[in-house]
Amino acid sequence: MTSTIAGFRFAAVSAGIRKDGRVDVALAVADRPAVVAGLFTRNLVRAAPVLLAEERVKNGLARAILVNAGCANACTGEAGFAAARETTEAVARALGIPVDEVLPASTGVIGQLLPVAKMNAKAKELAKSITPDGYEAFAQAICTTDRWVKVAEAKVETSSEDPVTIVGIAKGAGMIHPDVGPPQATMLVFLFTDAVIKQEELQLALAQVADKTFNAASVDGDTSTNDTVLALASGASNIRLTAPQIAPALFSVCDKLARSMIADGEGANHVAEIRAVGLATEADARKVAQTMATSLLVKTALHGKDANWGRLLAAAGRAGVAFDPRLASIKIGDVEIVKNGLAMGEEAEKLAAEVLKGPSYKIEIGLGSGPGEFSYLTSDLGHGYVDVNADYRS
291 is catalytic: no
- Residue 346 Cβ vs a copy of itself, minimum distance, rounded to whole Å: 11
**Closer residue to a copy of itself (CB): 105 or 166:** 105
Q: How many residues interact with a copy of itself (rule CB under 8 A)?
A: 64
Handedness of CA 132, 133, 138, 139 (dihedral sign): positive
Residue selected from 1, 280, 314, 327 as contacting a copy of itself according to rule CB under 8 A: 314
341 binds a copy of itself (CB under 8 A): yes
Buried b (16+ CB within 10 A) or exposed e, 71-88: bbbbebeeebbebbbebb
Residue selected from 316, 332, 363, 377 as contacting a copy of itself according to rule CB under 8 A: 316
Nearest alpha carbon to residue 98 among 125, 71, 46, 61: 61
Nearest alpha carbon to residue 71 among 225, 302, 292, 265: 225
Residue selected from 33, 182, 317, 370 as contacting a copy of itself according to rule CB under 8 A: 317
Handedness of CA 49, 69, 133, 162 (dihedral sign): negative
**Closer residue to a copy of itself (CB): 96 or 320:** 320
Q: Which residues contact 296 (CB under 8 A, 6 or more apart)?
A: 381
**Residues 48/212, Cβ–Cβ less than 8 Å:** no
Residue selected from 88, 223, 245, 375 as contacting a copy of itself according to rule CB under 8 A: 223
Rg (CA), the chain: 22
Stretch that binds a copy of itself, among 2-10, 106-114, 357-365, 368-376 (CB under 8 A): 106-114
Amino acid at 3: S
Residue selected from 33, 181, 182, 221 as contacting a copy of itself according to rule CB under 8 A: 221
**Residues 343/308, Cβ–Cβ less than 8 Å:** no
**Closer residue to a copy of itself (CB): 256 or 299:** 299
Determine which helix (DSSP H) or strand (DSSP E) holds 207, and give its type and residue range.
helix 199-212
283 binds a copy of itself (CB under 8 A): no
**Closer residue to a copy of itself (CB): 128 or 350:** 350
Q: Which entry of 87, 144, 186, 378 is annotated as an active-site residue?
A: 186
Stretch that binds a copy of itself, among 63-71, 130-138, 189-197, 310-318 (CB under 8 A): 310-318
Amino acid at 124: K
Q: Which residues contact 159 (CB under 8 A, 6 or more apart)?
A: none
Which residues inside 111-150 make contact with a copy of itself, applying CB under 8 A?
Answer: 111
**Closer residue to a copy of itself (CB): 21 or 77:** 77
Residue selected from 15, 210, 301, 377 as contacting a copy of itself according to rule CB under 8 A: 301
**Burial environment of residue 225 by CB neighbours within 10 A (0 to 12, 13 to 18, 19 or more):** buried
Stretch that binds a copy of itself, among 19-27, 32-40, 158-166, 223-231 (CB under 8 A): 223-231
Specify the 3-state DSSP secondary structure of 162.
coil
**Residues 170/253, Cβ–Cβ less than 8 Å:** no
**Closer residue to a copy of itself (CB): 232 or 338:** 338
CA 168 to chain centre: 10
46 binds a copy of itself (CB under 8 A): yes
Instruction: Indicate which residues carry an active-site annotation.
Output: 186
Residues of the shown chain interacting with a copy of itself in the complex, contacts defined by CB under 8 A: 42-46, 72, 74-77, 109-111, 174-175, 179, 220-225, 294-297, 300-301, 303-304, 306, 308-311, 313-319, 321-323, 325-326, 328, 338, 340-343, 381-383, 385-386, 389-394
